[in-house]
A and B are shown apart, each in its own frame.
Chain A
Amino acid sequence: MTTQPDLLYSEEEDALRAAVRDLLTDHCDPAAVLARIASDTPHDRSLWRTLAQSMGLAGLLVPESFGGQGATHREAAVVLEELGRSVAPVPYLTSAVVATEALLACGGEEAAGLLAQLASGQTVATLAVGPAARPGGAHPVVRHEQGALHGELTAVADAAVADVLLVPARDGGLYAVNTEVVTVTPKVSLDLTRPLAALTFSGAPGRRLTDDAGPAVQRALRTGAGLLASEQLGLADRCLTETVRYLKERRQFNRPVGGFQALKHRLAGLWLEIAGLRAAARNAADTLATGSEDTDLAVAVAQAYAAPVAVRAAEEALQLHGGIGMTWEHPVHLYLKRAKADSIAYGTAGGHRAAVAELADLRAP
């Protein structure tokens, strides 16, 4: 029998949330994010430094012996909720969660050294697989020949800010490659707060982290998918809160628009879905943290549920803001674009339902 997961937030987690939220309120308001994504440097390096270095949050998942904080996925999930609430353009999920998990699975000195650098926030790394790769799914890889990497990857999230790429190759190995020796071509991305870039490897030298990239990549993708649900939760919750706030103020027909029952029912329905998402996201984070045998299923359930809820929250927010919601100036489009991109990242809801079919023994015809 598995023990019941702890689905609540501890006092320490609430305190962590408050600290991150304070920082983001001061340094990552919607106007600032809007201005930044229109610039040449969509990533917010100064916010990253504060989060990663001053607050030590890049090392949450890294044991203290490797220079990290030795916390768990539960705390990292709380950070991601807050980052999702602010659609913060920082490489937390890609570097501090996914790349970090891959390195944790590798062992060896090369990985240990990189882990320490990632934990300190001085180095940003990203796992060089396509953004839609899901745990258990296939993904394209590059070739490793005569000590160097060759090939192309059409889209990797946050590659443009990464110092190091963790690259699975066809020979089965996982390599650490400095970004300087790779051609990184930023792509015009739907989600400007987590932009993609194409990578061209033409004989790029790489340091082998492990001979068997499989387990490391799987672990990284599973954690990424599981904790993405917390980002989606934060995003959806913010969309609902802002929409409710706006509709209490906005008046038409001589009354607040939020008093019309058609809208009240839609928002109440959304609230209920978000309550479900909170339970599913906490469940995924807690099972990841405890290494429960239920983890695969918990992650698949959270991802099969999260994407439609987060997308609906953003779409409803846009619709219920009326014309202003359609403008570039209003931040709701940032949420919509992130939510839609998140619905593909680390596997679609349909992909995760296919995983549920396996895990819960509900086979296809």
Chain B
Amino acid sequence: MTDSTELRTRTRELLAAHPPAATDRLDFLRARFDAGLAWVHFPEGLGGLGAPRSLQAVVDAELEAAGAPDNDPRRIGIGLGMAAPTILRFGTEEQKRRFLRPLWTGEEVWCQLFSEPGAGSDLAALGTRAVRDEGAWVVNGQKVWTSSAHAARWAILIARTDPDVPKHQGITYFLCDMTDPGVEVRPLRQITGEAEFNEVFLTDVRIPDSRRLGEIGDGWRVAQTTLMNERVSIGGMRLPREGGMIGPVAKTWRERPELRTHDLHQRLLELWVEAEVARLTGERLRQQLVAGQPGPEGSGMKLAFARLNQEISGLEVELVGEEGLLYDDWSMRRPELVDFTGREAGYRYLRAKGNSIEGGTSEVLLNIVAERVLGLPAEPRTDKDIPWKDLAR
């Protein structure tokens, strides 16, 4: 088994062979991938060494100390957090070799074509159709809320391949080329002023069967891997104390005593304590994962993260007083990366509203915790055994 000493040696060899100061950024990232130091828990040949995931920190620390470039994870969150684990688990050898390297280096950005106007929380009701045509699938339909579609080269896509069976059974998972002429991306402006997400119209898009991920009709199961990883990657970032949304508020509190009031003080302290407890809960979850005993805490982290981000950023707007009545910039832009804590208080407050909607709403996550963790009875269902085509829409 690969241990930390060996990883350190390999990292130093990489740095010696490709000194960051004298190497092109992309060349360095590719060499890092090929050395198995991209994500050490991935298999050999696919950017990893089959090492325990916890050892990634060893590599990252060495590289950071040497001033090596990183792959700017904020730009490629969907690829790293969702597409990659799904491709790794369900992809063919050929798919893994084709897609994982440029995904990790950031040469190819990914987006997620799941939600539709008529299928949000009830994602399995989706209506985008994929019809078989010789060695390919012809896809027609509309997707919505697609973050980064404007920057994406590829998409993970779920579509209906069999309308005659109940909704969960007739779905298939594809890897969709966003440069296909049938793909049209239109920006959707958000409450922050900018357009992080888009609507995506798919008209006679041809996807070769070799870009199907998993079995025909098994797309719902494949998508579960994506969704689970999405929630973990949204709620499960490792943070130092004051590393999240509470950081800028605490900083303002310290630097600007003239803003302080007793009411704000009490609320700040409560939220500071909750943020610290959420950080510890995340740390405990990671220790469980490292020890090979994953706990159910993971399902809850995104819930806690969403509520805290919203409350803390709401407090921050009040704290800055009159400045809270201003906004840095309403101009319509299509940002390259998704940033929750960037910019000013007003932006943080507005962007945080999405945290309890994206990646599964907080209401839906509470249902999941209640049913899967506490074992409480499932919601009554009227749609389980009916063919998708007969469901009321």
Cβ of A275 and Cβ of B281 under 8 Å apart?
A: yes
A267 to B371, CA, bound (A): 10
Residues of chain B at interface, number, CB under 8 A: 44
Stretch in A46-54, A111-119, A254-262, A321-329 with 4+ CB within 8 Å of B? A254-262
Enumerate A242-276 residues with CB–CB distance to B below 8 Å: 244, 247-248, 255-256, 258-259, 261, 263-265, 267-269, 271-272, 275-276
Least CB distance from B238 to A in Å reads 10
A272-B303, A362-B254 given; A248·B273 CB < 8 A: no
A356 within 8 A of B: yes
Contact partners of A272 in chain B: CB under 8 A = 300, 303-304, 369
Contact partners of A357 in chain B: CB under 8 A = 265, 269
* Contact count A vs B, C-beta below 8 Å: 125
A117 to B273, CA, bound (A): 39
A7 to B280, CA, bound (A): 8
Contact partners of B371 in chain A: CB under 8 A = 264
A248 to B375, CA, bound (A): 9
Contact with B along A1-32 (1 / 0, CB 8 A): 00011111000000000000000000000000
Give the nearest-CB partner of A355 in chain B.
B269
Cβ of A259 and Cβ of B378 under 8 Å apart?
A: yes
Enumerate B241-273 residues with CB–CB distance to A below 8 Å: 250, 253-254, 257, 260-262, 265-266, 268-270, 272-273
Cβ of B273 and Cβ of A264 under 8 Å apart?
A: no
Cβ of B377 and Cβ of A267 under 8 Å apart?
A: no
Contact partners of A147 in chain B: CB under 8 A = none
Contact partners of B287 in chain A: CB under 8 A = 4, 6-8
Cβ of B284 and Cβ of A364 under 8 Å apart?
A: no
Least CB distance from A166 to B in Å reads 31
Residues of chain A at interface, number, CB under 8 A: 43
Give the nearest-CB partner of B367 in chain A.
A264
A279 within 8 A of B: yes
Contact partners of B61 in chain A: CB under 8 A = none
Least CB distance from A281 to B in Å reads 10
Cβ of B288 and Cβ of A305 under 8 Å apart?
A: no
A356 to B287, CA, bound (A): 25
Cβ of B274 and Cβ of A305 under 8 Å apart?
A: yes
A265 to B370, CA, bound (A): 7
A309 to B92, CA, bound (A): 48
Enumerate A328-365 residues with CB–CB distance to B below 8 Å: 350, 353-354, 356-357, 360-365
Cβ of A268 and Cβ of B272 under 8 Å apart?
A: no
B283 within 8 A of A: yes
Give the nearest-CB partner of A365 in chain B.
B260
Which residues does B use to contact A, with CB under 8 Å? 250, 253-254, 257, 260-262, 265-266, 268-270, 272-274, 276-278, 280-281, 283-284, 287-288, 291, 296-297, 300, 303-304, 363, 366-367, 369-371, 373-380
9 more CB-based (< 8 A) A-B contacts, given A258-B376, A278-B281, A362-B265: A259-B377, A264-B371, A264-B374, A268-B373, A271-B374, A276-B278, A279-B284, A362-B253, A364-B265
